[in-house]
Structure 1
């Protein structure tokens, strides 16, 4: 039976874009064979696990070296990753993996999981159990007896029996369901899937958008982080591969297929998922994507879709590479993409933990290795490497993607979200360091995110304007809303009267033209029009602000307009050099970071470059930003970004 069916054009939101990419793919040639061999992947995983093996206690628990405690689901994650390495020939890890598994099972069945995260345990436990049971049959019988005592509605936290709230049936519940399917497949739990089908049908399938993306958060007001979209789809994909055959299997398979294509279409040229919401810029995002891309590659290859298979294979390789760049000599990875010491928690979420998110990353990569087959799939270019495109996210994701070959802009659009401010949040180009033109913005409200240094300031590529009361305003100020910001519940993007539209969009093979219009009760104006012109290595951004006809604010005069520029300042290990120079009678900004250079060139006559004190040292997940503002008289301003 054919497993890979491309997409359903009647229900997939980006069907035309996917078809256009397929046509480009058919005219492309395969890329050189990947050096991301299974041996290299096993070596990378081994380094991670060998580091944490030194932090294992006699009872099997993995202790975090910074908080000096067992945290969250670190131990079952270790058990799974170590077990996969055992299956790859690391017999020296057998006893360590078994001890971690025994301890994890004891914690789960006795309802003593660290930090109250039982729902995450079972999918890791069952993965390790499947591998180790044949090597340790006597111990496996004891494991099985303990696992048979689990009562899902009682053992786990995010169930309707405990929460009694449909809005709380979020990613935790889907993760638990995925592990329970494996427990059924192993003959440890009753095989009736009716209760699983009910959860999936009522609370999870309604969360999928037409793009196959999963909207996490309350059903009526999801906060929709991209991290928890990919994490949930990863777990549900493991569930499908583990033999789920319930009543939702067909629809779920379609949604997972659509989501994988959407992730492929939006993957950056550096193999990073888009930043939006909590847990962005955490390495485990790409680890989950590596699994999804690898499984899609295998399904497409088995069905004769060689080029699609090659594109997914290449995407998976890029995500492995994105993580590997941050692996330290000791073996662990920097869990957030900066070089600040782990104990300083810079860019961490309140729940981020060094051991937990290293080992969750290791577990997802381990599941990828466990399911990966031996076919030699030749890589093909991913979408951002072929042609140009503009993609508008649906649902509550509030993001627009604009790309030309090897280069991508990620633009956030919500005017009333202090956590994910509007404007260009990320610019990445192949061959350049991800931080050179910035990979994440500042915040107006840090929400879940903690910083060890820097000020909280809403800094992205966005317009500013100077009103007659001698005050500078900017797009991220937004406007009053009916509901106050709630980091857990999310923000309705229409709350307060704001909106955005894509006014124009046109592409050629290597150029992109995009115009976004924001409207709302902004300070002193009614709308902002932003134009983004791209070609490889070159970006021109133009902002225009104004009043709508018969507006109450039409008497407000705008005497100057500005453009905020986020400049990368430090990653905690290396600082950039930010300087200005005169180029053909125009003052320009030159940023040099890790041997690469970025240029910002004002285009509008009579422009001047300022460095406002309030944005001198701005915290971002990747480190520190410094804000520059280009200012010019009038209501329209343009500038160029030169990427070498």
Structure 2
């Protein structure tokens, strides 16, 4: 992979989404500005709630302890130091001693190589952010901080270095995170060496991971696993490094890639301000916090270049990211760090490494940096993001294997990999503006949950996907995927070609309020199926899906079906599911038979209403027991399988999303 990138660097390749971006920017010229309720006071209020909550858990030595594990975890303390220091800089001076104590504790832990849970690489970016604010307020303490910070020897102090690992494939997001903080230390004159070693790491191990869209492929160089969370978190840290003044040998290409990545991020953002799901750590609040910083920096940059409407779109993207986080803030001030309401000790949807205090404060630290770099944000007038005002279909590059399509105010997201049991193939997310984010649903089930663990629910590959029954009575589905020659490893990627599967976009059409997308999956699927076409048509509030098997031994296929995931429970509130007579039917003379086309399902959740009806005559609605209680990142899903008549070569259904009548 390194040799291929050297021959054709990604930052010199064409930007594949240029047409979609151009169409959006033309539309933006016709858009009216938006009123924004987000200002620095509201941002500080959100940040203050998190910091004040965890101030109660600060120990005499300055460390922050997690109330659930009763100990200091990961990089909670330096994250607290940064967030508290930013609040001090905004007038909350009563936090000065607390912030300074946390900073002292963090520096000592880093220099003495005793960072909790073996995570020193995350310390310097937060330490240096706090140090830059507090050094002038506490000059005597600053002398001690400076002395200790000069003791750091990067190749010895940190974990993800070539000196310790001697493996280019392990120079992943951790290494980039460390580099961003180390550059700040160098910029402050606390590193006597030159910064050429940073250039080396960037050029050899990080620039090659970027795609032409500016997305960072985390994981081994030859087989990246590409979580969207670790794409944006790495770009967040490299953005901070550039903001700190990095102008080394890799600066021009890194800057170009970050510009591309910022534009791609704006195109990918959902109308609800949420970052897409793919891979580990998705649906964690810090995803949107890092997006807020990237959008903030880009908004200011565009404004400085006179791109007023583009700047306004990035400003609105930042606002939406803040709002997506604020929705999950508790009355106590802390956050539900994953988008569900289960209690922290239940750890539902948490990764094995997820920690409540650490990820609350890591989110706070990222938001704090967004405030620091948002001094010039307030005068920028907001304008709609792409998901709010235009129609588009976007296919990611590299190994991300994700497709986005939207109409104004609505976005659909597909995972396309056939051989990755953590990102199963099918329609994974449906988001509509002003609707509950989870109802669509917002994330699917799994064949293998990787790092993710759940308080309840069965592991089942439940997603909007086609199914088929063979003559022996057994049901199969696209989400079963294809076995690979190499066993699945959640810490490494899966070669998209392994197993012989592939996908392609057969058709993508866009009108102002409508899109049509035809996806085709090919490969040795179960029961002799070789090819499936799925057609998705959408307009605001309405999605129509149809499936057709185009290459199979028809003698073995008894009937077609379709799996539909229904979101049932978020850890606090249960959805209400009912079968009702379908008043939308054009042919009222059709007889009413339980479980056929003459009825539709209606699901009410959190003031939202999702209705489902089969568009294929004589379609049966079934609730297979294996999908009655399925674990998802957001809670519990229930699977509905629509079953067509024997011999039919296609099946179709319609989803409608609207406010529930009780909320109107």
**Structure 1 and Structure 2 fold alike (TM over 0.5):** yes
Deviations along 1:475-525, whole A, 9 cap, x unmatched? 111122111100001111110000000001100111000000000101121
Alignment equivalent of 2:616, drawn from 604, 624, 631: 604
Q: Distance in 2 between matches of 1:578 and 1:563?
A: 18
**What is the deviation of 1:625?**
0.4
Coordinate RMSD, CA, aligned = 1.1
Q: Distance in 2 between matches of 1:474 and 1:187?
A: 59
Mapped contact 2:436–2:607 kept (Cα < 8 A): no
Partner of 1:489: 492
Mapped contact 2:440–2:567 kept (Cα < 8 A): yes
Mapped contact 1:269–1:406 kept (Cα < 8 A): yes
Q: Distance in 2 between matches of 1:454 and 1:289?
A: 31
Partner of 2:456: 453
Q: Distance in 2 between matches of 1:477 and 1:111?
A: 45
Deviations along 1:240-267, whole A, 9 cap, x unmatched? 0001110111110000000000000010
Q: Distance in 2 between matches of 1:106 and 1:287?
A: 27
Partner of 2:661: none
**What is the deviation of 1:9?**
9.2
Q: Indicate whether 1:614 and 2:614 are aligned.
A: no
**What is the deviation of 1:314?**
0.3
Q: Distance in 1 between matches of 2:157 and 2:11?
A: 38
Mapped contact 1:9–1:15 kept (Cα < 8 A): no
Partner of 2:562: 563
Alignment equivalent of 1:521, drawn from 521, 524, 530: 524
Partner of 1:264: 266
Deviations along 1:223-246, whole A, 9 cap, x unmatched? 000000000000000000001110
Deviations along 1:47-100, whole A, 9 cap, x unmatched? 110000000000001000111110000000000000000000010000000000
Partner of 1:4: none
Partner of 1:502: 505
Q: Distance in 1 between matches of 2:96 and 2:456?
A: 42
Mapped contact 2:11–2:212 kept (Cα < 8 A): no
**What is the deviation of 1:578?**
1.1
**What is the deviation of 1:365?**
0.3
**What is the deviation of 1:389?**
0.4
Partner of 1:197: 199
Q: For 1:47-86, what aligned pairs fall within 5 Å after superposition?
A: 47-86=49-88
Partner of 1:3: none
**What is the deviation of 1:554?**
2.6
Deviations along 1:397-436, whole A, 9 cap, x unmatched? 0000010000000000000111010101100000100011
Aligned to 2:65, the other structure's residue is in SS state: coil
Mapped contact 2:13–2:212 kept (Cα < 8 A): no
Q: Which one is further off, 583-592 or 326-335?
A: 583-592
Partner of 1:112: 114
Partner of 1:480: 483
Partner of 1:635: 649
**What is the deviation of 1:191?**
5.3
Aligned to 2:524, the other structure's residue is in SS state: strand
Partner of 2:396: 393
Mapped contact 1:416–1:476 kept (Cα < 8 A): no
Q: Which runs of 5+ in 1 are unaligned?
A: 1-6, 548-552
Q: Which runs of 5+ in 2 are unaligned?
A: 1-9, 586-591, 593-597, 659-664
- Normalization by structure 2: what TM-score? 0.94
Mapped contact 2:415–2:428 kept (Cα < 8 A): yes
Aligned length, in residue pairs:
632
Partner of 1:533: 537
Mapped contact 1:267–1:273 kept (Cα < 8 A): yes
Q: Distance in 2 between matches of 1:76 and 1:624?
A: 35
Q: For 1:431-450, what aligned pairs fall within 5 Å after superposition?
A: 431-450=434-453
Deviations along 1:532-571, whole A, 9 cap, x unmatched? 0000110000011142xxxxx6364211111101000100
Partner of 2:3: none
Mapped contact 2:85–2:133 kept (Cα < 8 A): yes
**What is the deviation of 1:190?**
2.7
Q: Distance in 2 between matches of 1:167 and 1:289?
A: 26
Query: After the TM superposition, which segments of 4 or more aligned residues of structure 1 sit over 4 Å from their partners?
Result: 7-10
Partner of 1:302: 304
Mapped contact 1:501–1:516 kept (Cα < 8 A): yes
Q: Distance in 1 between matches of 2:557 and 2:515?
A: 30
Partner of 2:588: none
Mapped contact 1:559–1:635 kept (Cα < 8 A): no
- Normalization by structure 1: what TM-score? 0.97
Alignment equivalent of 2:603, drawn from 588, 591, 598: 591
